[in-house]
């Protein structure tokens, strides 16, 4: 640009935001605190994300809330935001959706303003390497995208369980991961899809998703109903209830040479298994399934990126925001966890909102 004979070079001003971050901190069994601190500027390769919503994972987070996490174990070896070992005080959570509001050196300016998903604890703002951020697919709303970790887990369960056409499948536990697993299984031409859960709200939701029957495991008529529905036992059974005692029920439900996929994380809760009866003679397989890794038989053709791509597609098809039963601000987090602790039958998915 010129003014008279003088040449004036264009310039830009980079503004550094002063951000006060609010973070949820687990400080002891059933004790929470909201920590306030100034967030540093993003470093090279990082972006600052302002959170729109984050989802509580009732299974794992209630173990943290109740103090039932395993000691001297890494929180998560595959997620940088969850580095370190379990122990109070602890930031936890791994389902956050927000908007990039600031970028560090070396980051493409096209990241600014982008909606992204991150495996990050419950915080109003955070810095993260852009390589760890997943841009939301065009048109997908934050309240749908926040289900990505649970949908990826459900996809992984199906990969590990390998359901076949005509098989009889049972799913124990219809929390959010159980419901998403049921939603995916309902897309298969199965011989039967039976779910079990103690809570009426979850059983009704499972039926809406396509389960052929959804039963209360504590009802005295359930055993006879299962004998009618699964006369030769289940070919494939998923234990997703979070209750170690349910493993014995899964063994009792599974037929000869059937598979039981154990997707629950029990923390410090131990399971007392009856392996001396039907299990011993029935060639039942117990399959451990955890989403941090891919089963070795898939690694030749599958990667985490491919599995994420499929999980995004399933989110668009299933639209799990309909499972949100409660929304709380971060300031009211204690009420959210108390509700899950004392009235779990009233909730499916709880969200924290930040804007």
Residue-level pLDDT, tens digit, the chain, 355 residues = 444 444 444 444 455 678 999 999 999 999 999 999 999 999 999 999 999 999 999 888 988 998 887 665 545 545 555 555 678 899 999 999 999 999 999 999 999 999 999 999 999 999 999 999 999 999 999 999 999 999 999 999 999 999 999 999 999 999 999 999 999 999 999 999 999 999 999 999 999 999 999 999 999 999 999 999 999 999 999 999 877 778 888 888 999 999 999 987 766 666 677 777 777 778 989 888 889 889 999 999 999 999 999 999 999 999 999 999 999 999 999 999 999 999 999 999 999 999 7
pTM: 0.88
Q: What integer pLDDT is reported at residue 9 of this predicted model?
A: 43
Q: Is residue 56 part of a domain?
A: yes
Q: Is residue 304 part of a domain?
A: no
Task: Retrieve residue 45's tokens.
Answer: 């390769």
Last residue of a domain, one of 281, 296, 311: 296
**How crowded is residue 218: how many other Cβ atoms within 10 Å of its Cβ?**
8
> Do 185 and 285 fall into the same domain?
yes
Q: Is residue 206 part of a domain?
A: yes
Task: Please count the structural domains in the chain.
Answer: 2
Q: What integer pLDDT is reported at residue 324 of this predicted model?
A: 98
What's the full length of the chain, in residues? 355
Collapsing DSSP to helix, strand or coil, 98 comes out as: strand
Collapsing DSSP to helix, strand or coil, 248 comes out as: helix
Domain extent, residue 234, equals: 150-296
- Contacts for 283-287: CB closer than 8 Å, 24+ residues apart: 283/256, 283/257, 284/251, 284/254, 284/256, 284/257, 284/258, 284/259, 284/260, 285/257, 285/258, 285/259, 285/260, 286/260, 286/262, 287/160, 287/161, 287/259, 287/260, 287/261, 287/262
> Do 221 and 90 fall into the same domain?
no
Q: What integer pLDDT is reported at residue 6 of this predicted model?
A: 46
Collapsing DSSP to helix, strand or coil, 68 comes out as: coil
Collapsing DSSP to helix, strand or coil, 243 comes out as: coil
> Do 140 and 162 fall into the same domain?
no
Q: What integer pLDDT is reported at residue 16 of this predicted model?
A: 66
> Do 102 and 181 fall into the same domain?
no
> Do 287 and 269 fall into the same domain?
yes
Q: What integer pLDDT is reported at residue 247 of this predicted model?
A: 84
| Residue 322: partners with Cβ closer than 8 Å, 6 or more residues away | none
Q: What integer pLDDT is reported at residue 68 of this predicted model?
A: 82
Task: Retrieve residue 275's tokens.
Answer: 């392996």
> Do 290 and 160 fall into the same domain?
yes
């Amino acid at each position: 640009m010129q003014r008279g004979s003088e040449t004036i070079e264009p310039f830009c001003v980079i503004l550094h935001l002063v951000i006060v971050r609010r973070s949820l901190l687990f400080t002891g069994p059933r004790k929470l605190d909201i920590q306030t601190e100034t967030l540093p500027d993003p470093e090279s390769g990082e972006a600052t994300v302002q959170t729109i919503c984050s989802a509580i994972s009732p299974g794992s987070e209630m173990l943290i809330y109740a103090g039932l996490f395993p000691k001297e174990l890494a929180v998560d070896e595959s997620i940088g935001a969850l580095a370190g070992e379990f122990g109070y005080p602890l930031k936890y959570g791994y389902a956050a959706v927000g908007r990039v509001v600031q970028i560090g050196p070396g980051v493409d300016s096209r990241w600014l303003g982008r909606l992204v998903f991150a495996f990050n604890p419950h915080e109003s703002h955070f810095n993260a390497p852009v390589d760890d951020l997943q841009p939301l697919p065009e048109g997908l709303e934050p309240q749908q995208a926040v289900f990505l970790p649970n949908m990826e887990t459900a996809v992984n369960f199906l990969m590990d369980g390998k359901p076949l056409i005509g098989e009889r499948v049972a799913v124990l536990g219809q929390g959010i991961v159980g419901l998403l697993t049921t939603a995916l299984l309902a897309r298969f031409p199965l011989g039967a899809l039976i779910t079990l859960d103690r809570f009426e709200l979850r059983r009704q939701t499972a039926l809406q998703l396509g389960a052929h029957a959804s039963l209360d495991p504590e009802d005295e008529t359930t055993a006879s109903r299962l004998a009618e529905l699964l006369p030769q036992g289940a070919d494939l059974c998923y234990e997703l209830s979070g209750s170690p005692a349910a493993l014995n029920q899964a063994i009792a439900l599974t037929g000869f040479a059937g598979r039981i996929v154990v997707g629950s994380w029990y923390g410090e809760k131990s399971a007392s298994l009856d392996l001396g009866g039907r299990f011993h003679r029935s060639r039942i397989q117990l399959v451990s399934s955890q989403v941090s890794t891919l089963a070795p038989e898939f690694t030749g053709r599958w990667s985490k990126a491919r599995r994420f791509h499929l999980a995004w597609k399933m989110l668009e098809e299933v639209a799990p925001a309909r499972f949100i039963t409660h929304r709380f601000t971060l300031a009211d987090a204690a009420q959210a966890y108390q509700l899950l602790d004392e009235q779990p039958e009233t909730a499916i998915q709880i969200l924290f909102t930040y804007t």
